[in-house]
Amino acid sequence: MSRSPDVIDVTAAPSRLAVMPSACQSGGCGCSNPAMPPPPSFGEVFVNGVEITAEAIAEEIQHHPAPDAETAWTEAARALAVRELLLQEAARLGITAAGDSDETGRRETDDEAVIRILLEREVMPEGAGEPECRRYYDANPARFRTPDLFDAAHILIEPEADEPAQWAAAEAFARALIAEVRNDHAAFAQAARRDSACASAQQDGSLGQVRRGELVREVQQAIEALKDGETGQEPVRSRFGWHVVRLNRRIAGQILPFDVVREKIADMLEARSWSMSAAHYVSSLAAQGQVEGIIVAGIEG
């Protein structure tokens, strides 16, 4: 299966194989001249006698965000060392290629194309059969569970102005509504149509079936704390105003059948196998050659 080297980390570290896109090299995006951090303690980097220059590392470093300059420098140097190992091996095997455009329209460089073809030829991941997929499915049921849904509604009471007195008045009105509607669905719907400042008032305050993360945190938490058919007995404040919330019913997530997710599991396991095989391949190249000044895939020069 074809894999692009700029999306798979074959060094078991957050580094990139791809060279900088041509748009960056030309300065078109304004990032071609990043500030060079001070050289770290590991010194010069060589791959089979070819130096990875400080200038090249400084240019690559923008792709490796890190908590400190030395870590970023190290990851950038490792990425370039891996790239050099792969390009040298491709040259030894006589592989040449011209860059092509991917599905997004981005054109790969010639070096990227060479590395892609090399890895396609030399890295042979194991396929994921039915038993392997089934074992993964059985061991990770939570990964294949649909999200819980909450059939919910609310009434939004906005303060007339962003002042303490107006917020207090809106809260008092929300509390009066809670006392009025209690847990009566029809009464809640009527109050929502009459008093809610939200567009959902036209649908009796209904928010539909929402998932976690789709509502503001305060409202989501209040809804999830309710039982089916219950109206919250305390108004909930958000940046929008005061909310009277109701949970009509909770719809628990379901585990998807194995047959539905088998293909995705197989793709994931094959991608994982490819990454491990590629890391082993890079490690073998480093072990057979001479890498100085940086650790590549567990091999220290």
Question: 106 with 160, same domain?
Answer: no
Question: 71 with 95, same domain?
Answer: yes
Question: 155 with 91, same domain?
Answer: no
Where a domain ends, among 211, 234, 251? 251
- Ranking 57-71, 164-178, 229-243, 247-261 by mean pLDDT, the lowest is 57-71
pLDDT of residue 42: 52
pLDDT of residue 6: 35
Question: 211 with 241, same domain?
Answer: yes
pLDDT of residue 1: 40
Contact between 98 and 113 under an 8 Å Cβ cutoff? The reply is yes
Q: Mean pLDDT of all residues in the chain?
A: 85
Residue 74 in domain: yes
Question: 115 with 204, same domain?
Answer: no
Question: 166 with 222, same domain?
Answer: yes
Q: What is the DSSP letter of 44?
A: -
Question: 87 with 153, same domain?
Answer: no
- Structure-derived torsion over alpha carbons of residues 69, 73, 79, 84, reported in degrees to the nearest 10: 170
Residue 8 in domain: no
pLDDT of residue 299: 42
Helices (H) and strands (E) in the chain, counts: 9, 10
Give the predicted TM-score (pTM) of the model: 0.60
CATH number for position 107: 1.10.4030
Task: Look up the domain containing 120 and give its range.
Answer: 22-128+260-300
Contacts of 219 (CB under 8 A, 6+ apart): 154, 236, 238, 243, 245
Q: Among 30-34, 37-41, 125-129, 140-144, which range has the highest average pLDDT? A: 140-144
User: 68 vs 201, which has greater pLDDT?
Assistant: 201
pLDDT of residue 152: 98
Summarised one tens digit per residue, pLDDT across range 85-106 is 999 999 999 999 887 766 776 7
CATH number for position 183: 3.10.50.40
Question: Does 204 score more than 90 pLDDT?
Answer: yes
Q: What is the DSSP letter of 255?
A: B
Question: 236 with 156, same domain?
Answer: yes
Amino acid (one-letter) located at 202? Q
Tokens 């965000």 belong to residue: 65
Residue 232 in domain: yes
Question: 226 with 292, same domain?
Answer: no
Question: 153 with 244, same domain?
Answer: yes
Residue 140 in domain: no
- Ranking 19-33, 122-136, 187-201 by mean pLDDT, the lowest is 19-33
Would you call 193 helix, strand, or coil by DSSP? Answer: helix
Question: Does 3 score more than 60 pLDDT?
Answer: no
Residue 174 in domain: yes
pLDDT band at 165 (very low <50, low <70, confident <90, very high): very high
Summarised one tens digit per residue, pLDDT across range 18-66 is 333 333 333 434 444 444 444 444 578 999 999 999 899 989 999 999 9
Residue 30 in domain: yes
Question: 163 with 86, same domain?
Answer: no
Question: Does 227 score more than 70 pLDDT?
Answer: yes
Question: 276 with 209, same domain?
Answer: no
User: 190 vs 68, which has greater pLDDT?
Assistant: 190
Residue 289 in domain: yes
Write the CA distances from 43 to 67, 88, 219, integer angstroms: 20, 22, 54
pLDDT of residue 146: 96
Residue 224 in domain: yes
Number of domains in the chain: 2
pLDDT band at 301 (very low <50, low <70, confident <90, very high): very low
